[in-house]
Each structure stands twice: as structure tokens, then as C-alpha cells.
Structure 1
């Protein structure tokens, strides 16, 4: 394994070739996730691309970034992450490769472009035609990368004389970049032997789910899996809020990005949809109502599981979080009950086992707040008691090690600027059962 404190420098063209080889060797992936900590077999990543170079100070708020990462180093850090996973025997698959495979089919590519423009709120017929014609010059992975990175106005010789076009003539892009896409956790969630295609909270992120959806609709290695599309919920739900605590129990955050309404709709489908019930064993959801803020955007920014009986948690949610138990009720109703007691005791009672809480940054409020901001509580387990963490959260990492947890420290100076950690950057596809 490479030195965990170093960034391995990889030539981007060589890295693309490595991705292609892996994609060619891929067989069918059968979604199988019944815990947060079973040995990780397969995972979906997105290597940061040109979309980060298309961030501007003026668009940071709209595109949900606090700063502009330096792409070259972000890619080196991400490559280090992928190489560390590969060295542990994890099958690393790349979103851009899989979508590229799908978009080699001209008919599928045409339909995808049309839907992408629609979700991007491109409504002027002449502009739709012009963009479609321009994008049709791309194919496969090149098309996937172009849609992900964005289309600048100076790349297309077209004058939009519509009212909307004239009002927005100062915009720099026909199609905005999709910079949050390297956080593959959010657009879709693997649960049991099925996938929930998520409905994203922010307008700019709604396009992300289209890329995941295309794989499960059209890719030969994925299209046999069962998919539930949450768009019918008419409410937002994101993967960072969904934790698979065991084969029977989910934890879902009521957060800035996921609504109580969406959770209740999802619970109804899990409990009463006969077509879905054969693909999972979930019979209980613990809904964590955490403070709604940029710092606590998802449940997994304040709580993740690191071992059979251990979780890391930000102490800032203690006394500020209500937990509700959702279960199947009579007459096809979802029953909801507010639970009393601490987070630790509630988890222990509901999971019927001892739970030890390891506080992000320890008990010191300054360390805890600082390291939670840089995703100290956002861990990715590769097996029980062995997790990926950001290198920069030294206090949290030391505490985890002192509590018997093995940590793989990944470089993160640029990746962390996107406000997401190792769990955010990974969509597990297969884990061993505990």
C-alpha cells in the first residue's frame, strides 16, 4: 500500500487508461448493501474533472461550494483515495466510464441530452436544437465529460434573442458545470438489493441523478437491478442522509437536504410496495431530526458507523436531535413515534446491542466544531473497525485509533473544499454480509 501521508502523482492520461481497463473487466454488479461496515467489495466514484475549473467566485453559492479547489491536486488526492481502496481489494468503478459506455449508443445519447437540457431548464426550442446539435458531436465518455464539466457560451456560436436569453445574456455558460458530482453518495443509495434514485434538494444538483439513472437503465452490468425513483415523492431526499444500520434498519436524517415528507413517502414504499419488498428486509426507519444548517447538511456529516458497536458523532447534535421510529402500521399506514433518551441509548435499544460513541474532535468543543467542518465524522468503512478518514482531522483520527479503529488517512487539502468526506465521495455497491 502506498504511504498514506503522501499524494501519488499520476499522469491524467494514464489514469484514464487505467479506468478504461477496469471498466472493460467489469462483470454484472448485483447491488448488495445490508450494513455500513461489511467488507466493501465494489464502489462507485467520480474522479473530479474540468467542472472544478469551471467554478467562478460569482457562481460558488449557486453551485454549493465555499471555495474553488485546485483541480490538479484534487485529482491527485482522489487518485490516492482510489488506489488505497484498490490496494485493499475493493473493485473501484468510475461514474464517467460507466456513463460513457451508455452514451456510446446514439439513440440513448440523444434521449439523455434531451432530458439533461430539460432538467437544466433549457426551454427555448431554438436553443434546445442548437445545444443538441453541438452536443451530438461528442460521443461516449467525451459526451459524459462535457455534460459534467459544463458548456461555456464561447464554445457555441449562437445568439439567444429570446426574452430569457437577453435577460441572462451576462451568464458565462449555456450549461452550468456539475461540480458536486464527485460526491457520488448523494444522487443514489444502495439499500439491500435495490437502489433508491434520489431527488436532490438544490436545483443545481438535480442533474446528478440522471447520470446514475442512465447506468441502471442502460448499462449491461447494472440494468438488472431494482431501482426506486424518488422523483414521485415531490420532496427532496439525498444519500448523505441515509445510513444502512443493519439489514432491517435504516437511519435517515431530516436535514437541510432531506425532508420528513420524503422519508415518510420512502417508508411507505419500503413497507408496502410488494415489488420492492423482495429486494430488501427493512422494517424500521430511525428518522434523525438534526439541526438544519450548512455545517450539518447531511446526517453523515455528524454521525457514521465505524465498527460493530462504535459510531463517530459530532457532539454539536447532542440535545438538539429528535429521533422518530417509523414502522409498518395497520391499514397500510406508516406509524411514527418520537423516542426518548440519548442518541447513544436510543441506538442501543433499537439495534439491540451496545453502542459506543466516539466524538469527532473529542470533548473539546473547538476541536469538535473545526474537525466536523472538515468532515471528521464522515468516515467510510471498508470493513468493521477499518475506515477511511481525511488526513487533516488529526484529533479525531487519533481518538479513533486509541479506541481500536484502524484508519486510512487520505490527503484532502483540495477535496475537502467541496464540503464532503470519504463517505460522501463513495457510493458502495456491494458489501459482505456481517
Structure 2
């Protein structure tokens, strides 16, 4: 990545790769202590061993990115190497004058955003919704995730892809960072720079088909700062009754609407405006304890820490969360609310099974500059059932 192509890749800065890798290693080591972790590259490699899956992926990617000239070359690669190049990029072979004079390094560019695995697919109940990414540079991520869920023997499940529906419109877009499952019957969705009203209407139409009760809380977000690209950048759940929020958007909003849509028995029962997300959830018998991103004392601290994903924590289990240690005021606020602070390097010294609440921190100084946090870097596919009583 260079300053010239960073913006095209949806970045505002260039990461130090060595430091980012170190931080990501910390992140992965924490996940491995709590759950089985799949890496997309490994899943894709296994899927590419299936002829039908490989043909589907290559046909779709080459057509979508106008690189049909690469198709035959990609077919010659082993599943492992093909997986690597589909994610890390295919370098240009400078065998023509046009290619020789080109400023591009890649015929098929790397997927710079793919470590934010939350966005390209969403698990809702027993179904996987394939995201319609708002930017073309991320569409390959959705193609890969759809193939993984359709073809991998360990993950084979029903996928729903808006592009393949008869009512598809180019105005539809939605991404996983905007979709939060609050309870079995409650979903919060961000109306953001990445998720459109048409995208939300598509999701609602799909929820209607389930025939059971669903409450959809839609929160409009600012579109002027890139740190507000998804709902999970201002609001995440830490426990059944606890959230982390960026208060200026979630509580102190003036121009951003909150809408509650009730879907029951295959139709919209009603749509009404609410004061904010916590108020809407309170009416559904979830009385949230809200912890402030950046703490409560200083507006500037809240702004700075929200910018670096201070509201984007990942719940490993109810009350056991993972986030960036660089957001000191946020971590301090969590500690004041009973969360024991554990640095990832010290995790082996603690018995987290006997802790009711804890926050595990990774360094995150470099990863945060990529524009997302620990929730962004995960995509849960299976959760243990929670007793909501």
C-alpha cells in the first residue's frame, strides 16, 4: 500500500505491517483460548479443492473484476497458492508495453480489508446473509465467504445473497458491522455510509419469511467521519444487559433517528420512532447498563478513543470482552464497572472461567489505524445458547 492507493483501498493511513502482525498474533492467541478459530485462508484453501467451488469462485471474481485474462493462470495454481493469491493479490506480469508503463503492481489487487471478517457475511439464526458491500473493492470478500459457506463441509449452510434475489436493486447495500444481534428476537441495524435503507428493507423482507417475531431497531449514523462507518463503531454489547456506547451518537443525538420495526407472522406489525437504542431496548425488557467509550469526563477523550475503535469490543462470552488496550479511558471505565483488566500477554496467569467479568486487552496501536476493532476482526458462526431470564 502507498499513499496513492490507500484511499482507494478505503484506508486513511498506512499500517506498519510488522507491528500489525504482532498485534494480530496477540488477538488470535486470545481467541484460541476461548473457542475454535477458523482462518479464511485455510477455509478457502479447502473449498478450492472442490472443482465446482473453484470454478464458481474464479468465474465470479474474474468476471466481477474484469480480469478474465487471469482465469487460465489461476486454474494452474494449487489450492493453497490460489487461496493466497485471491486474498493477497496477483502481481502484474510486465509482458506488454501497457503493463510495463502501468503504475499498478497488481493485476488482481490484495484484499486490504479482509481481516475485518465481520463485514462480508452475517450469521442470523441458522442462515448466513451474504453482505452486499458498499464498495466494489470489497466485493471479492463476499464472493469468497459465500463460497466457503456453500461448499465447506464443516460450514455448509443456507446462504442468502441479495444479488441473487429477483427483487435485487443496485441501491441495496449492507455490511456485517452494521448488524448486531441483541437477543434471539432483537436485531439492531445501523443506517450508515455502508448500509442503505434499501439494504435494511431487504433484510426486513427476509426476516418476514421466518414467520416468527422480530424486533428491528434501526439507528441512523453520521456519514461525515469514517470512524462512524458501522453501528459497531459506536455501540457494542458486552453482556446480556451491558453495552459500550459512544454517547454523543447513541444518547445525545439530535439529527439521527432511531426507528423500531416490529415484524410478526410474516408482516410488519408497526414502525415507530424511538428516543434512542437503549430506550427502545428498555421497552423490550432489556434495561442496559451503558458504559461510555472514552469515559465520562472529557468529550475529547471520547472522540479520540471512538476514532480508534474504542466502542468496538468483542464479547467472547457474556461479560468477558476483548478490545484495544490503547483506549485507556474506555478500559478504565470498564474497570470501574467491575471488569477485571487482563493484558493478553498475562492471560495464562488468570482463570477466566471463574471470573464473572473481565476485559482482555491487546495492544492495538497499529491495528486500530486500519479502521476497526476486535468485533470487526471476528465473524462468529456458532454461539452457545444464552439463558435470557
Tell me the TM-score range normalised by the shorter chain. 0.7 to 0.9
Deviation at 1:413, TM superposition (A): 2.2
User: Match for residue 71 of structure 1?
Assistant: 17
After the TM superposition, which segments of 4 or more aligned residues of structure 1 sit over 6 Å from their partners?
Answer: none
User: Match for residue 378 of structure 1?
Assistant: 312
Note if contact 1:378-1:421 (Cα within 8 Å) is conserved in structure 2. yes
Note if contact 1:313-1:360 (Cα within 8 Å) is conserved in structure 2. yes
Matches within 5 A, 1:214-363: 214-223=147-156, 225-231=157-163, 232=165, 233-234=168-169, 235-271=172-208, 273=209, 277=210, 283-293=214-224, 294-317=226-249, 318-320=252-254, 321-328=256-263, 333-334=267-268, 337-349=271-283, 351-363=284-296
CA deviations 1:352-398 (Å, max 9, x no partner) are 13212111012221000000000010010011111001010010011
User: Match for residue 105 of structure 2?
Assistant: 172
CA distance in 1 between counterparts of 2:365 and 2:286 reads 37
Deviation at 1:230, TM superposition (A): 2.4
CA distance in 2 between counterparts of 1:267 and 1:111 reads 28
User: Match for residue 422 of structure 1?
Assistant: 374
- Which blocks of at least 5 consecutive residues in structure 2 are unaligned? 340-357
CA deviations 1:320-371 (Å, max 9, x no partner) are 43111122379x653552323344322211x313212111012221000000
CA distance in 1 between counterparts of 2:91 and 2:227 reads 31
Cα separation, partners in 2 of 1:214 and 1:282, compared to 1, 3 Å:
farther
Question: Per chain length, whose mean CA-contact separation is higher, i.e. which structure has more relative contact order (CA < 8 Å, sep 6+)?
Answer: 1
User: Match for residue 108 of structure 1?
Assistant: 53
| Correspondent of 2:66 among 116, 121, 128 | 121
Note if contact 1:250-1:282 (Cα within 8 Å) is conserved in structure 2. no
Provide the TM-score with structure 1 as the length reference: 0.78
Note if contact 2:312-2:376 (Cα within 8 Å) is conserved in structure 1. yes
Aligned residue pairs, count: 358
Provide the TM-score with structure 2 as the length reference: 0.87
Deviation at 1:70, TM superposition (A): 2.1
- Which blocks of at least 5 consecutive residues in structure 1 are unaligned? 1-54, 123-127
CA deviations 1:33-92 (Å, max 9, x no partner) are xxxxxxxxxxxxxxxxxxxxxx2211111111112212222222112111112123x111
User: Match for residue 366 of structure 1?
Assistant: 300
Deviation at 1:192, TM superposition (A): 1.2
Secondary structure of 1:327's partner? Answer: strand
Note if contact 2:238-2:320 (Cα within 8 Å) is conserved in structure 1. yes
